[in-house]
């Protein structure tokens, strides 16, 4: 069976590393490269930890690149600093230098080049803001036709957002973080004709990380990837945490687990609703993951992390 050609973009949050650990276990996916956007993270340890995770999984054929784009509304430092802990975990630090190649050119240029050189259209899985994809499209607009689909963790359609109204003064709380970091970049991608499938908060609100979830992972910690996943989740137990990116990544592995629904939407780019994915008749058609079989979802990720 031909493998699915794919580029992963992520933004170095705890959830993003868990998604890398899920994606790189999928036998049917040909990961052409991973591009890290400096959003919910500090970029140097984020790139480093990504390479070390690929080493641990024996998947060091996929190069890792550092995007140099910038957002408009920075993620809180308290979210971003977990990456230093992950990059320092003993399980990832037995080698002096990662084997997984580090790309020399900026991540957005690397993404544009990979797409230009691709023999067939490539799926992009993005678990961070869309800024790097928007930048790649600026570098080479011709790559638009080489993107088969963007599968994105982003947006809040008919539920409140997750940007804190008090911490982020002046906002109305309607927006999801990956859009809020750079609403203009998201809107740039919305202006293309690339098929977009989002995994919005509407669905991810159903997958909180609970103590029972963490214990279930602990019971299979004889597997190095489960052990690492459990350590990652331990970093975020003090806050409300969801499997946002992991659920999105699961769609690449098991699309049949999901029901999709089409929406017409616009991205609000300024003012107190900036970053909102507003449902509006006549807006840009996208698909959203609408329903998931939760039992199958949990069975899948626990099986995939049994390695």
Q: List residues binding Ca ion (CB under 5 A).
A: 11, 13, 16, 127-128, 245
Count other C-beta atoms under 10 Å from residue 125's C-beta. Answer: 25
Min dist CB 243 to Ca ion, Å, is: 11
Q: Which is nearer to Ca ion, 135 or 199 (CB)?
A: 199
Min dist CB 179 to Ca ion, Å, is: 12
What is the distance between the alpha carbons of residues 90 and 303, in angstroms, rounded to a whole number?
Answer: 23
Min dist CB 252 to Ca ion, Å, is: 15
Q: Is 98 buried (19+), middle (13-18) or exposed (0-12) by CB count in 10 A?
A: buried
Q: Are 105 and 215 in contact (CB under 8 A)?
A: no
Q: Dihedral, CA atoms, 284, 290, 296, 297, nearest 10 degrees?
A: 60
Min dist CB 128 to Ca ion, Å, is: 5
Q: Are 287 and 199 in contact (CB under 8 A)?
A: no
Q: Which is nearer to Ca ion, 75 or 213 (CB)?
A: 75
Min dist CB 14 to Ca ion, Å, is: 9
What is the distance between the alpha carbons of residues 180 and 207, in angstroms, rounded to a whole number?
Answer: 22
Return the DSSP state at 130: S
What is the distance between the alpha carbons of residues 9 and 108, in angstroms, rounded to a whole number?
Answer: 10
Q: Which is nearer to Ca ion, 11 or 202 (CB)?
A: 11
Owner of token pair 């999801």: 176
Return the DSSP state at 63: -
Min dist CB 13 to Ca ion, Å, is: 4
Q: Which is nearer to Ca ion, 117 or 164 (CB)?
A: 164
Residue 149 bridge partners (DSSP): 123
Owner of token pair 């607009």: 141
Q: Which is nearer to Ca ion, 129 or 253 (CB)?
A: 129
Q: Which is nearer to Ca ion, 78 or 99 (CB)?
A: 78
Min dist CB 289 to Ca ion, Å, is: 16
Q: Is 290 buried (19+), middle (13-18) or exposed (0-12) by CB count in 10 A?
A: middle
Q: Which is nearer to Ca ion, 244 or 258 (CB)?
A: 244
Min dist CB 222 to Ca ion, Å, is: 28
Owner of token pair 């070390």: 52
Q: Which is nearer to Ca ion, 5 or 13 (CB)?
A: 13
Residue 36 bridge partners (DSSP): 10, 66
Q: Which two tokens stand for residue 262?
A: 């089409």
């Amino acid at each position: 069976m031909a493998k699915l050609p794919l580029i992963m973009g992520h933004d170095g949050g705890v959830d993003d590393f868990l998604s890398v650990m899920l994606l790189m276990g999928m036998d049917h996916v040909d990961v052409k490269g991973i591009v890290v956007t400096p959003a919910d993270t500090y970029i140097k340890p984020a790139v480093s930890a990504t390479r070390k995770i690929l080493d641990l999984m024996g998947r060091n054929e996929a190069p890792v690149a550092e995007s140099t784009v910038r957002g408009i509304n920075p993620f809180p430092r308290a979210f971003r600093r977990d990456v230093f802990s992950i990059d320092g975990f003993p399980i990832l630090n037995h080698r002096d230098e990662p084997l997984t190649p580090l790309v020399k050119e900026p991540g957005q240029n690397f993404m544009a080049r990979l797409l230009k050189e691709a023999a067939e259209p490539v799926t992009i899985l993005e678990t961070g803001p869309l800024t790097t994809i928007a930048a790649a499209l600026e570098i080479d607009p011709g790559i638009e036709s080489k993107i088969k689909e963007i599968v994105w963790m982003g947006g809040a359609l008919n539920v409140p957002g997750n940007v804190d109204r008090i911490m982020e003064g002046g906002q109305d709380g309607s927006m999801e973080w990956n859009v809020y970091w750079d609403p203009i970049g998201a809107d740039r991608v919305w202006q293309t004709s690339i098929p977009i499938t989002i995994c919005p908060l509407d669905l991810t609100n159903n997958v909180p990380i609970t103590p029972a979830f963490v214990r279930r992972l602990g019971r299979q910690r004889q597997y190095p990837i489960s052990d690492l996943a459990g350590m990652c989740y331990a970093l975020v137990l003090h806050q409300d945490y969801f499997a946002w990116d992991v659920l999105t990544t699961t769609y690449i592995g098991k699309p049949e687990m999901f029901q999709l629904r089409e929406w017409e939407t616009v991205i609000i780019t300024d003012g107190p609703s900036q970053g909102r994915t507003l449902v509006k008749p006549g807006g840009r058609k996208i698909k959203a993951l609408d329903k998931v079989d939760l039992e199958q979802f949990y069975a899948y990720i626990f099986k995939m992390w049994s390695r």
